[in-house]
Structure 1
Amino acid sequence: MFHSIPCCVPCEREFPDIRRRNIHINRYCPYNGRKRVQNTTNPEIPDVQYNETGPEEGIKLEAMATDGLDNDERENETVIEQPDEEQRRPRRTRKLPGRYQDLVVSSHSAFVKNVRVVADTPDAASDTHTKIPSEPPEDCEIEQDDRSDIDSTLHTFYYQTQPNDFGLFRVYEAALPSTDPEDTHGVDQATDAPTFTSSTVPVDSSRTFSQCFGIKLSNDCTESPQASEFAPFLNFTVFLLMSWFYQFSRTSIHMLNSLVRDVLFHPRFQISELEGFHAGDEVRRRNSHLDRTSDDDNEPVHSPDVPLNGWYQTNVSIPLPRAGKRFCNEDHAPILTIDGLWYRKPLEVIKEGFLDPLSAEYHLKAHKVFWNRPGDHSTQCVYGEVYTSDRMLEMEGEMRRNPPLDNVETVVVPVKLYSDSTVLSTIGNITVWPIYLALGNLSKYIGLRPSSFSDNHIAYIPSLPQSIKREYRRLLGKSPTPQVLSHLKHELMQAIWFMILNDEELIEAFKTGIIVPFFDGVQRRIMIRWFTYSADYVEKVLLICMCFLSEYLCPRCFVKKYQVIQLGRMRDMQRRINRQRVDDAARRDRVERARVLIFKRGRAVTSDAVKNLLGEGSWTPTRNSFSMLFAEHGFDYLKMFPNDLLHEIEIGTWKAIFLHLLRLLDTMKSDLLDELDERYIQIPPFGRETIRRINRNVSELKRTTAREFEDYLQTAMVVFDDLLPEPHNKIVLDLLFDLASFHAYAKLRLMTDSCVLSLSKVLSDFGDSLRKFYHKTCGDFETKELEKEQEKRVRRHVRAQERRGVAEFLDPESEKAQSRTFNPNTSKFHAMGDYARGIPYYGTTDNYSTQAGEHSHTRTKRLWERTSKNRNFISQLARAERREDYLRKKLTRPVLTGKIRPRRRNFTTEIEDSEPLPPCDPCLPYQVTNSQRLWEDIPSLVRDNEDDPAMRKVIFVDKRIYKHKYLRINRTTYDMRRDQDAVNPRTHPDVMMLAGDTEDGDHPYWYARVISIFHVRVRYLGSHSRALKEKRMDILWVRWYRYDACYDSGFKAKRLHRLHFLDESDPTAFGFVDPAQLICAVHILPGFMYGRTQEYLCANSIARQYRQFIDGEYELETDDWKYYFVGIFSSRDLFMRFRGGGIGHQSTLEYTKIFETDARVDNQSLLEYDSDGNVVDSSFLVEELSELGDDLEHEEDVIEVDDEMMGSNGSRSDEDEWEIDRLEDEDGSEGYVDDSQAGSDEDEDDRDLGPEDGEVEDIDLMGLESLGYGGY
């Protein structure tokens, strides 16, 4: 057990023993024993406390009845008239919505250290953790050094924090960090929506801009004083203007707005300071100390006038092999020199990162995070960040086994790498191949924001030159074979990385660490560790040194291609654990001997002798640079490559399934694809860019990005429903539900042990559904390639003929469509089995997904716009990157609040109406503007609509109501962030709240469509009135959905929850709701298979405010869909609302236990932890995995694989063609965003996100590209 350090709770002072603490409380405590206020961030909002049965009712919410005003006269229950349908549940009364109080974190807990040792704990000189000194000391002592007399092999110290408001606490092993960024974090640091009053990225400190770069300027670089904060420019006005100029690469309205807002209206802007201004002079002034290049022969002179992390230019050389040609050794083989490698030294970039003001947010120690669920005695481990992952803890454990001898605090630096080629211009097919570096010490909630600029450009990789065949023929007298060219690509990649990594100081930083200054002035020792390398399959093959699309296709284990179909079974799980790839001495020795065969004996690189020597695993005879430099220090480079959700699922397995579903529909009826396109177009958007509106025919697959494929998957259930005949319709829907569930779990930003087990169970279900789909549905149809696939095949054939020097013309229309079958035996299907083990080891997938790298490409493309676009653009790109990085660190964007437009007079607002909503306090439950300029006279309103069924039961006690266009719902997400939903009756009208009549086993939510948003001024004159003062009351006028309890839905049924509107004659079809009762917005999807109807509400009712987006215009809907479905996969937060168990969903945990039962969460065998946070016993996991991977005896364990699936002799599989397309033409259509607009001037998390109310849905139509992560 932990032994708590005695402390005074009111003033938080700690004491060495209980006696001194009691003396302090009785005599000296300024609070005199009084209880300290717990919620210091927002005292106006009381804390929500929990007991074993659920949340207590802290604040009594004023529920609205149909009169909306007089609470004394309303009835507690009213009868709902349900539509006349067979097998419908009996009538029941509708009560008021359930009371809902969202939990808002007040602040993260301060440290409370508890020490547990194996033997007796020695007396400690001090129990307080290291404070940041006011003046930088020589070093920073770590706490375990105070106990140096203890044998570290016998004693282990653990430090635990107090649980925060959500029940989370941290456990540190061996030492506490000298500083923790979460000590001062509160709700302001947990906000995601750009319309909150707080910002996640920390602002700059008093440190000057040039100091942030570790430089000072020489006198000849500027005419102003040497230490000027705006150096090297003449004055601040010039600096402001030049900074604005380098933000944009092309003219746009956004650029003009920024000029006025950020420059001309800046309080320090002085027009007089621009006298004699010339832009060329300022550019030269800045370049005089930013530029630095080097080559192998001329190392640059280190000067205080240049930055510490500049660019180097060099070339790389690789030996050329030839079958039948022998050399004395490898060194005597002909050398091919490739020019154009631009790189920065990784260690210089890392050092600069710790001098950046952003480093104040770095976590210096790895730790575990645990969750004590309210009302439950179980403790679950929580996975989310890099510094809470098992891999990070493993790295710190390695460091502690060989501790440095000095008394300086040691910080393990997990380095995340990413590389991928990207298309800069489709005209001329101009590409660039950047490498990005990021530090895992920074929270992903900050680092993944593009405005943080946490991804550092460290290299631009050259490709094999166009003259490679000519040069090879000149040196060796024979043209290279395709196998030799593939080998040279491997050699080039490793030679580039050897050039980047072969730095003595970097190797020393990996081996024993180096002491560097931090931004807070403290000297600490940093130890570099290569944490992850994110790349697509093509680059992983080059980096791992394995063959492309070979028999052993997995970069992590020795699985064969024909075994992939066993996904989710027990033997597949065991194979991943027992047959992992390892970089051992035996593998390295086999590579060396294979290279001797190639160069000294003249064997071909793919000869049987070389293959047999390399052994199983489809290895290539290429030395790995990471292995050469760091293997002797215990580093296994094969652990660097985690899953890649973007390429493996969104444009991997899901794309393969989606394409084959299109082939199935095309085979059955020609008009089914048209029906599919029409359904997708009618899918309503959701959230701020969470689900975008689909404005084109999806079956045409025109430059479809991963972002679009993701949207297609999240809404696929309602689109594909009833397009195929039974039983195939059920098989397809089961498959889509399992895949969407797997995608939702895998993309969670915060996971518990329970979620990881659920992911394993969903994987098993998906494997079963995949095999059933392959054997039954795919086996019953003879499918052919789509028109798009046929055109691509013809283009590929023509390119291949051109490379052989044969001119051949083929007309795609004259070519017959070839047979295409579904192939489940690909590396991407196999990779799905690694997520459940990878998330605890590496952290959640958003930490290392290539999605972040795809977003970083947009900055590269924007920089390219500032180059001359000639063949030397790489050097200009490197220079432009340094310019932008130099200038951007002082820029702070103000929050936008919208524009005011002319007033319109109707009961509900029009599209032209607009209300500026300023940024709001994230602690508030919702936000509605205080404006009273849009109002309606109530008597005339009632008179003009007296026959409308929506108005029959409405009673007003005042003569005026004030209308509003939209409101914002502030909510706490499952990962304890504060986010917002914008509700607009015309475009985003659907909301949900707690049901007021729930019983055990009942659905816990009510759903409604908002008709109007308004507020009234009321005065209560009843007998219980305490004041006659007027009070504002915010009201939502809603139209109720009814949950269809007779439709089997949920995780067991693998179907979405079904709803329908109440009939207009029902007295409770409409009602009023307090906005504070709303939980969040909800994505309601049409039930296309049931058709539309007007039986629920007449076409011209005033309650019809929702507008459909048809052919680029909004049209008021005149009817309803007979049934609707709840889109539980539309966002991660919605998914956890309907799965249950979300840490941030404290207020609804008790109500969503029905969902946890449905998802089989309550039957899980969770890990048990001791008081130190270590697993007690995991033997039961064998039984758990056995259940998850239970093999069906009546199914064949290994299926016969035809030539197409094996990728030999027959036509290539889908995966083969996609990867080959990337190698040949790099069309860029599979990125996360559309390359055609990725280089726009809009920042990904720009606060100017367009119309919040969603009146203009497709922002791309306006020429913009919003690249934010949205709600998913």
Structure 2
Amino acid sequence: MQHIEHDIPADFPSPALNPPSPPENPDPPTTTSGRPRRRYRLPRRFVDFLPEALLPASQLDSSQLVSSQPDSPGDQSPSTPPSHIRHVNLVLHDHIKTATNSFGLWWLYSSRPSADPDGQLMLEDLSNQQNSHSTCLPPPLPTSSSSSPKPSKPSHWLFPNKTMHMVMSWLNNGTPSKSEGEANTLVRDCLLSPDFRAEDLVGFDARRENHRLDQALNDSDLWRQFKESPIVISVPSGKSGDPPVDFTVPGFLHRNLKSVIEEAFKDPNAHLLHYSPFKVFRAMNPDSSERVYREIYSSDVFLEEHECIQGPGNLPDDDLGCRRERVVAALMFSSDATHLADFGNAKAWPIYMMLGNLSKYVCSTPSSGALHHLAYIPSLPDYFDEFVAGFHPSWRSQYPHIKAHCRRELFHNVWREILSDPEFLHAYQYGFVIKCIDGMERRIYPRIFTYSADYPEKVLLATIRDKGLCPCPHCLIPKTAIQDLGTTEDQNIQTTRIRTYHGAAVDESLREFSGVPTLNAFVDCLGSQFNPSSMLTVDLLHEIELGVWKSLFTHLVWILHAASTSSEPLVVCLDERYRRIDTFGDGGIRRFSSNSSEMKKMAARDFEDLLQCAIPCFEGLLPEPHNSNVMKLLYCLAEWHALAKLRMHTDTTLKILGELTQEFGVLIRQFRDSTCVAFSTVELPRETAARQRHDAANQSSRPSTATATSGQRRSKAFTLATVKLHFMGDYVDQIRCFGSTDSYSTQLGEQAHSTIKSLYGLTNKKNPMHQIGAKYSRNCHFRDTERKETQETRRADHTNKHHVIAPYNDCPINLFAFVRENSKDPAKRNFISKLKDHLLGRILGREFDADMHDDFTEDDRNSIRIRNNTIFRHKTIRINYTTYDVRCDCSILNPRNRRYCMVAAPESNFEVNSHPFWYAAVLGIFHAEVQHTGPRSLNLGWRKLEFLWVRWLGVEPDYVSGHNVARLPKIGFVPDSDKFAFSFLDPSHVIRGCHLIPTFSGGRTKTLLNYEGPTEARFDGDMSEDWLNYYVNIFVDRDMVMRYLGLGIGHREEGTTSSSQVHVRESRQEVDHEMERGVIEDEEEEYLSDKEKGGDHDDHGDRGSVDDSEDEDDDYDTL
């Protein structure tokens, strides 16, 4: 699969590639204490637009056809009349352009698609928080009047009755342990089902019923069962002139590849498959658009393959007149060996397959079943060593090389067994006909697009030497040139010296270019035109998080050890800082419980967390200029990592990613040449102890020549000669070719390992792979049966609402008692009057100005009555927001450990270099039933209003942040001397939660809250001091990064449009307002000042439901 250029019709505007400059911090006014003062118009109302699907392409009319210029036999001058009438054949290349949605996105098809699964999606299907991706049911199959539909079999047709089906379904759900949750599942889904009958279980035997199920699956049309095949490999004889010796490896379990593809086109996810590729564009303005890169089915390589199969010569001889639609089946493979248990040597090496025709958001959900188990690669048996030792004269001296060669032979013979199936090879060349889930017959052409694997498996797949002179599986870059990442020479090698797998030059230069004498199975079966290197994709998990970043972090720890003194161990300080960092999101930032510097039992996700939080933790530990060098390097790597993991790219973001790659190459070489050489780094004590244990274990197997220095700590130098660093230069090209990296991440295979490990726990540990294969087939059967029988119940997540607070009144608080309790707490100063100002301002429809309503009198405040003098406290609030990739996500805020949120900067603060956001710490989440009385009240009904009690943070004065200076935004608490340091906030103003990390190098202070007693304002257990400043962790997730870069497509706000064709639609706040607002629409306009009447009287905040029948009651004790 080769990269192709964009095929955009000539009349389409070219993309704009100049990204907006990152927002810089303003110089806010300060108080007398020097702390930042908040703006007086704070914050402007944030409007978050809901994700939306495009107009279904099947409903497009002829007015939306965009045709390129016709190809005619020749040009004729209009001034010269024709001498005779000519017949001209016009060949029109039609393109279908969809309507532009409110985010400026539009689709470009090369022809009218026969199906458009995106048109069936609902808002809940675009949510990252849903519990199922299968809720969008497929449309009913079309039926003709001449034929009646075939009666469908009942879901329990394999078993004597429904009761046995339910019991067997629970038994084969894949859960290895019977926990409380499993007991609840058994009771709710089985025992309490109206179809359950105890008498139907008389004579029940689980072994017999499982055997019945296995036999039925073995005889089914879509053969799910694994079959076992022996794999024969050739072992070098070690003697000149003697042929290799064959060795048979037993236990290879695999499924028929063509059957798995057919199953994928008929399973419950099949109605979401894309048959027609397209390009996605973003309208920057009416005159320019840029390409958007997201899914495999909208990538360049898919478009190229789709055009190839439309040509002649792709039909079998027995069906040359086939008029069916031709569809590419984008095969995406993944494999990785894994341990099956924490103790013991049991391991598995599964091969997974998924279709690139299916959205990555479905494939990334383990419960969707989109990742199919194709085969389980066996290992060389234990008696292999004895077998080879019996005939090979140099077995002991050449043991590593012989073993490596045999593993490589085994791997490729496994794939040769899978790919050499005659049915698959025929389908690969001529396609095969499938009646798809929509009732249409299509001719499917399997094509291998990607193979996700770590580097050791890439070495096997590319048939190159491990640790060779040319270690890259894609190009022939020498190992000595890897350090030139991002330079012109490095880019030239990647594009001009590409690996090939056929021709005499290959045979003559195996050794020079790290080739091996193993016939590549993919080239052998699919032909020499197939390049295996082109399917090997980048691997962020192993190459960056467990590769480049892990090695950099390790060397930084070595430097801290070298720079430490006996009285100031810097590594201890580093570990303490990491432990003080709060968690964030649903697994976004996890608790750093152990010593981070020791890196004990850390997975890739743990190293990702270390990188995202590294800047505040390393700041100030090293002297200058090394501290500045490290800060710039960490900032650049964190920014590169965030952009490389984006789920939606544009030409602009790819341009920035390419620039960051070059910048990182410069910074990492500068770090090596200046910082690393300034410190004498040696291995850690635990590394020395581990090496000594390893050497001692080897002494029993071979003679040892231990030296006097074996117990000394070895010197450790920083090296850039690692192929994983070189892979950073491949990301931009591969994203342009295949789409965003999460579509083919090895993380998908790592997630699928959980199924293998769970099923292993249900086996008797004897010949476990056979049992795992059988249990997997049973699990798939019951999963598909349940999804076909009924639509999965999905919890009401209120995705279309901006925020959700639980509708409970189980924590009432009397206002007077609350204020009297610890009345000296600065956070409670003027609590009731501030609350009334806030509520009155919202009821009157005033634009939020930090509740600084100087014109409110005591009579005005007394017109606000709170039922029973009671407010109700809540533990959490859920903030829904639209992400940069036009999906729905949410932040859960609570006053305990996830308290920080961000709001939009005021509209009056649009001057140059202004900071785009304001920040607050949530002290409490409340609602109250409020009544507005008085002569100007238009309605005396009670309404429910929700509000947040917050402590504000302001931007640090005279501090500049952003990419140019490689510094995170710095903020700090507004001093309590400010009258409005504590106030109330309408939840509809909140954009989302944010992650703040203390500026550890700045220390703590008592000046921001001059009070040492217990207070609601402090959270972390220290009731006497606050951190002087906090850093805003803009790298906590991809959505946060895109908000600060200003490039998020889904971050469109009210009043901004990407194109003149944008459809008018409601915002999330407007939906909330219509659903939950009170009965008062335009209350007391005459009460507003002339200045306020000219503003925007948005009353979205009035979301409390009102009972019109409920009037003022004298029995209520109100404020």
TM-score of the pair, normalised by structure 1: 0.72
Which of 782, 801, 824 pairs up with 1:947? 824
Q: In the TM superposition, what whole-angstrom CA distance separates every residue of 1:368-395 from its partner, at most 9, and x where no partner exists?
A: 000113x564311111111111111121
The 8 Å contact of residues 54 and 99 in structure 2, kept in 1 or not, is answered as no
Matched-pair contact (CA < 8 Å) for 1:1142–1:1149: no
* Residue 856, structure 1, aligned to residue 755, structure 2: no
The letter for the 1-side match of 2:442 is R
- The Cα shift of 1:479 comes to 1.6
In the alignment, which of 1008, 1012, 1016 is matched to residue 920 of structure 2? Answer: 1008
1:22 maps to: none
Instruction: Decide whether aligned partners of structure 1 residues 561 and 965 sit closer, same or farther in structure 2, where only a CA change above 3 A counts.
Output: same
Please list the CA deviations of residues 19-67 of structure 1 after superposition, one character each: whole Å capped at 9, or x if unmatched: xxxxxxxxxxxxxxxxxxxxxxxxxxxxxxxxxxx9xxxxxxxxxxxxx
Q: Report Cα offsets for 1:203-244 as digits up to 9, x if no partner.
A: 666999xxxxxxxxxxxxxxxx99432131232222222222
3-state SS, counterpart of residue 527 of structure 2: helix
Aligned pairs for 1:227-238 (under 5 A) are 227-238=153-164
**Residue identity matched to 2:1042:** M
CA distance in 2, matches of 1:1148, 1:752: 22
TM superposition shift of 1:475: 3.5
The amino acid of 1:512's aligned partner reads Y
Question: Which residue is equivalent to 1:676?
Answer: 574
CA RMSD of aligned residues (A): 3.0
1:868 Cα deviation from its structure 2 partner: 1.2
Choose the corresponding residue for 1:758, options 656, 669, 680. Answer: 656
Q: 2:525 aligns with which of 629, 635, 657?
A: 629
Following TM superposition, by how much is the alpha carbon of 1:257 offset from its aligned partner in structure 2, in angstroms?
3.0
Query: Secondary structure of the residue that 2:910 maps to in structure 1?
Result: coil
Match of 1:417 among 311, 322, 333: 333
2:722 aligned residue (826, 830, 842): 826
Q: Is 2:343 aligned against 1:427?
A: yes
Is residue 472 of structure 1 aligned with residue 388 of structure 2? yes
Measured against aligned partners, the alpha-carbon deviations of 1:65-118 in whole angstroms (never above 9, x if no partner) come to xxxxxxxxxxxxxx9973613xx77x6742231111110134422223414042
Provide the residue aligned with 1:971 in structure 2. 881
**C-alpha distance in 1 between matches for 2:769 and 2:707:** 37
Does residue 1:450 correspond to 2:366, yes or no? yes
In the TM superposition, 1:28-107 aligns within 5 A as: 82=31, 84-85=33-34, 93-107=39-53
Q: Structure 2: which 5+ runs fail to align? A: 1-7, 12-19, 21-27, 74-86, 142-150, 837-863, 1059-1119
Offset, 1:478: 4.3
Q: Summarize the Cα distance change of 1:845–1:1103 in structure 2 as closer, same or farther, 3 Å threshold.
A: farther
Q: How far does residue 575 in structure 1 lie from its aligned partner after superposition?
A: 1.6
- The residue number in structure 2 matching 1:262 is 189
Distance 1:106 1:502, change over 3 A: closer
Provide the residue aligned with 1:135 in structure 2: none
SS at match of 1:1147: coil
Question: Are 2:1032 and 1:1120 aligned?
Answer: no
On the 8 A contact 1:1141/1:1149 being kept in 2, the answer is no
Residue 1042 of structure 1 and its aligned partner are, at CA, apart by: 0.5
| Worse overlay, 433-442 or 418-427 | 418-427
Question: Could you give the per-residue CA deviations for residues 1015-1057 of structure 1, whole angstroms, max 9, x where no partner exists?
Answer: 1212223666432221111100100001114112111110100
Q: How does 1:916-955 map to 2 (within 5 A)?
A: 919-954=796-831, 955=833
Structure 2 equivalent of residue 114 of structure 1: 65
**Which residue number corresponds to residue 255 of structure 2?**
344
The AA in structure 2 aligned to 1:100 is: F
Partner of 2:455: 537
> 1:372·1:380 contact (CA, 8 Å) conserved in 2?
yes
Q: Is the 8 A contact 2:72 2:89 kept in 1?
A: no
| 1:489 pairs with 2:407 | yes
Q: CA deviation at 1:777?
A: 0.5
Contact 2:642–2:1038 (8 Å) recurs in 1 = yes
Distance of 2:168 and 2:88 partners within structure 1: 59
Residue 793 of structure 1 deviates from its aligned partner by: 2.6
Query: Between Structure 1 and Structure 2, how many residues are aligned?
Result: 961
Matched, 1:179 2:115: yes
| Distance (whole Å) between structure 1 residues aligned to residue 137 and residue 230 of structure 2 | 38
Identify if the C-alpha distance between structure 1 residues 811 and 385 changes in structure 2 by more than 3 Å, giving closer, same or farther.
farther
Check whether the contact 2:124–2:130 (CA below 8 A) recurs between aligned residues: no
Q: Deviations over 1:635-673 (max 9, x none)?
A: 222211010010110000000000001111111216211
1:166 partner amino acid: F
Structure 2: distance between partners of 1:780 and 1:1149: 54
Judged with a 3 Å threshold, the aligned counterparts in structure 2 of structure 1 residues 628 and 83 are, in CA distance, closer, same or farther, namely farther
Give the letter aligned to residue 119 of structure 1. P
The residue correspondences of 1:48-447 to structure 2 (distance < 5 A) are 82=31, 84-85=33-34, 93-111=39-57, 112=60, 113-119=64-70, 154-173=91-110, 175-194=111-130, 199-202=132-135, 227-247=153-173, 248-290=175-217, 292=218, 303-304=219-220, 307-327=222-242, 332-373=243-284, 377-402=287-312, 404=315, 405=320, 406-447=322-363
1:271 is displaced (CA, Å) by 3.9
User: What pairs up with 1:697-846 in 2 under 5 angstroms?
Assistant: 697-802=595-700, 804-806=701-703, 815-846=711-742
Q: How far, CA to CA, are the matches of 1:833 and 1:162 in structure 2?
A: 36
Mapped to 2, the partners of 1:978 and 1:1077 lie a distance apart of 17
* Secondary structure of the structure 2 residue equivalent to 1:240: helix
Contact 1:314–1:339, Cα closer than 8 Å, also in 2: yes
Q: Does structure 2 retain, via aligned residues, the 8 Å contact 1:190–1:200? A: no
Name whichever of 261-270 and 639-648 sits farther off.
261-270
**Distance in 2 of aligned mates of 1:99 and 1:514:** 56
Instruction: Look up the match of 2:861.
Output: none
656 and 120 in structure 1: CA distance in 2 versus 1, 3 angstrom threshold: closer
The aligned residue for residue 986 of structure 2 is 1074
Q: Name the CA shift for 1:1086/1:177 in 2 (closer, same or farther; >3 Å).
A: same
CA distance in 2, matches of 1:967, 1:810: 64
What is the rounded CA distance, in whole Å, between the counterparts of 1:546 and 1:267 in structure 2? Answer: 61
Shift of 1:425: 1.8
Q: Secondary structure at the match of 2:334?
A: strand
Offset from partner CA, 1:588-632 (integer Å, 9 cap, x none): 6x1xxxxxxxxxxxxxxxxxxxxx642642111111010011125
Counterpart CA distance in 2 for 1:794 and 1:438 is 45
SS of 1:457's equivalent in the other structure is strand
- Amino acid corresponding to residue 1129 of structure 1 in structure 2: F
Contact 2:523 2:531 in 1 (8 A): yes
Structure 1 equivalent of residue 516 of structure 2: 620
Q: Is the 8 A contact 1:417 1:532 kept in 2?
A: yes
2-structure distance, mates of 1:937, 1:121: 84
Q: How far apart are residue 439 of structure 1 and its match?
A: 0.7
Q: Is the 8 A contact 2:827 2:1017 kept in 1?
A: no
The code of the aligned residue for 1:837 comes to: D
Q: 1:1024 to 1:400 in 2, by over 3 A?
A: farther
Runs of 4+ in 1 over 6 A off after TM superposition: 1-4, 149-152, 204-208, 807-812, 892-897, 1148-1151
In 1, Cα distance between equivalents of 2:1014 and 2:806: 23
Which one of the candidate residues 513, 517, 526 is aligned to 2:435? 517
Q: Distance in 2 between matches of 1:1021 and 1:286?
A: 71
Greater relative contact order, per chain length (Cα 8 Å cut-off, separation 6+): 2
Contact 1:191 1:200 in 2 (8 A): no
**Aligned equivalents of 1:1043, 1:1106: Cα separation in 2:** 19
Report if the CA contact (8 A) 1:289-1:307 is conserved: no
From 1030, 1039, 1054, the counterpart of 1:1133: 1039
Q: Which aligned pairs between 1:1232-1251 and structure 2 lie closer than 5 A?
A: none
Residue aligning to 2:377: 461
Please report how far the alpha carbon of residue 261 of structure 1 lies from its aligned counterpart in structure 2 after TM superposition.
Answer: 3.5
Partner of 2:5: none
Among all aligned residue pairs of Structure 1 and Structure 2, give the percentage whose two residues are the same amino acid: 34
In structure 2, distance between residues paired with 1:641 and 1:285: 41
Q: Deviations over 1:698-739 (max 9, x none)?
A: 122211110100000000011111111111111111110010
Relative to structure 1, the CA distance from residue 1120 to residue 269 in structure 2 (aligned partners, 3 Å threshold; closer, same or farther) is: farther
Describe the shift of the 1:1149–1:964 C-alpha distance in structure 2 as closer, same or farther (beyond 3 A).
Answer: same
